[in-house]
Structure 1
């Protein structure tokens, strides 16, 4: 295992994360990294190991420890990076969550997850200097980046008949209902639902992570951006599932209530995503409470979150 990966696991274990789930995340990331390297070197590869990996990721997300993987996928780096492997694993995790919000059956979840974890394999053929550019891309550079969908389709064709179904998904994850996506400007009815799910998961991942040309948004601000800019790009049912299953106030985040108390989210609420359960850590005067106080905001309508709190 890479030294960086071992250091990452050690650091997060110290923060209270469960090592088993983080090892699973790292194994998935390293599998993706190996495939990316093989693509760059024009070497053959197999996606068979991913079928077992995505199944394990699904098992984790539906278990009691599901928050561990989700929070890892949402972990914000302090500096920008070009880590395609982390991006692809993160999008896979977010896509599975949305699929669960749509009540997908297990076999649909596994196919969605497999397509999601491989969604950007075509990026392996894009010039890294363009991807690392700290300024906004020129029109010409963006057109080069957009070719990753074409590259991805070509890579899939070389993997055999068993994965041809993904040619309807991976090259179309940037298509949008309103016809403003690429590469073909497809519209409603022409885009596989998996592609739309992966598309919104990819946007959420990009908004919540540091990029060379911009800083990350907090989950709440990222979801507001999606609702404002992308409302016509995706079906309402997918947007609702994203709001439900991609918590705007994830477990561990700090929030300020209208009572001016500060709390830490200890449990999210799929039915009322804006009203999680919080533990008060500072009272309205900024002092630590004398006794433990846990509030389910869904059951306390007079209290609500007014903002997230930055560390």
Structure 2
């Protein structure tokens, strides 16, 4: 199973813990990180590059065309990136994109987009990019990595916290067949929060983000008839699915020299701390940190996302699962960082309080995640309130969340 990885990486033996190698070059990396961070401070004018044409992402055609250049069209600007930049280092590619953006006129707007609109634009643009990547992979053609850099940068520098909005975005834009388009974006958003918590430099955050966004790219080689199968996959089908890290390394081979840590993370993201993962059965710290973060975020995303062969778990139940039976699958320090950043009750989810009222979470409380702001919709008898009542649980010491409630289990009235 390691053949593709060995070939792509030049059959070099990579240390189990890459950090030991990094420490020997700490001064060089610090200088490179400082340079990269200075260049990244341009931020690509953040959201301007991502304001795609408004409309339902399910119906709007992808605005990216591959010829000798790649163009991202927005209502305010058109950004063109040379294909020659495809294998440039992160900081150089980001500088090129920033300089191109500076050359473009930016239209005046009456007002800045609100929190939901800004996040929606980033999400929709990234989803269109993933659809484009899937099309290219299935045609056996190359794709460009520069748009991914801009989306990652926008998530990092968004003025709003995307993690609290992911649940609602998934509900709003989910289609039966697009799990492998939306799931990588969700994993990216969750993963970046954990990576930031771990103190990664901006250069590391960008490289980690590439791995998180593209970690399941190997799945694009697997037929939809298997991926969207209603029942559980057969043994042979599961063997094919388990080949997706190997497929991913083959697909990402053009970027291996520039982003070796990204390649390693993509290859190892299905490894587990107890040695029961694949493709190599690595254990504990033999698995690189990038892959461990992606692994726990991807597992949480899979548990909470509708799949053809299983119903999703509620967010709170998924976190309980990660803490209990799945705790030995991930390093404790990674699990702790994840739990520090991910809300049990995300915006858009439904909860039942200890007074039996049911409401929808409309805001999270970072300082006390068990006490979000809830828009109460149903009273203790299941009768719809008119009008609904918003309550901040922090200011209600006797009120607590008793349990999460699925949309299907809401009262009929």
Task: Give TM-score, length-normalised by structure 1.
Answer: 0.85
Offset at 1:294? Answer: 2.6
1:202-235 C-alpha deviation (Å, 9 max, x unpaired): 1111111111111222211222222233100112
Structure 1 residue 70 displacement after superposition:
2.4
SS at match of 1:278: strand
2:10 is matched with which residue?
none
Q: 2:136 pairs with 34, 38, 42, which one?
A: 38
Correspondence for 2:393 among 296, 302, 305: 296
- C-alpha distance after superposition, 1:285-309 (max 9, x if no partner): 6574889553334x65543211123
2:270·2:295 contact (CA, 8 Å) conserved in 1? yes
TM-score by length of 2: 0.65
Asked if 1 retains the 8 angstrom alpha-carbon contact of 2:346 and 2:364, the reply is yes
Contact 2:375 2:390 in 1 (8 A): yes
Tell me the equivalent position of 1:187.
Answer: 283
The count of residues paired between Structure 1 and Structure 2 equals 301
Could you say which residue in structure 1 is the equivalent of 2:313? 217
The Cα shift of 1:238 comes to: 2.0
Which residue matches 1:140? Answer: 236
Q: Determine if the alignment matches structure 1 residue 106 to structure 2 residue 202.
A: yes
Residues 37 and 259 of structure 1: CA distance in aligned 2, closer, same or farther (over 3 Å) = same
Q: Give the C-alpha shift of residue 4 in structure 1.
A: 5.0
Which has the larger Rg? 2
Quick one: distance in 2 between partners of 1:88 and 1:53? Answer: 12
- 2:270 is aligned to 174
The residue that corresponds to 2:150 in the other structure is 52
Is the aligned partner of 1:92 residue 2:188? yes
Residue in 2 that maps onto 1:13: none
**What is the aligned counterpart of 1:256 among 348, 352, 356?**
352
- Over aligned residue pairs, what C-alpha RMSD do you find? 2.9
Alignment of 1:75 onto 2:171: yes
> Structure 1: any 5+ residue segments left out of the alignment?
9-15
Per the TM alignment, residue 192 of structure 1 is displaced from its structure 2 partner at its CA by 0.9
Structure 2 unaligned blocks of 5 or more: 1-52, 61-113
1:241 CA displacement: 2.5
Q: Corresponding residue for 1:204?
A: 300
Higher mean displacement: 28-37 or 173-182: 28-37
1:69–1:36 CA distance, 2 compared to 1 (3 A): same
Is the Cα contact below 8 Å between 2:371 and 2:400 reproduced in 1? yes
Q: 1:103 to 1:165 in 2, by over 3 A?
A: closer
- Equivalent-residue separation in structure 2 for 1:217 and 1:283 (angstroms): 24
How far 1:88 moved relative to its partner? 1.5
Give CA-to-partner distance per residue, 1:4-42, whole Å, 9 cap, x none.
51669xxxxxxx983332122111111122122112212
> What is the DSSP-based 3-state SS (H/G/I as helix, E as strand, rest coil) of the residue aligned with 2:340?
helix
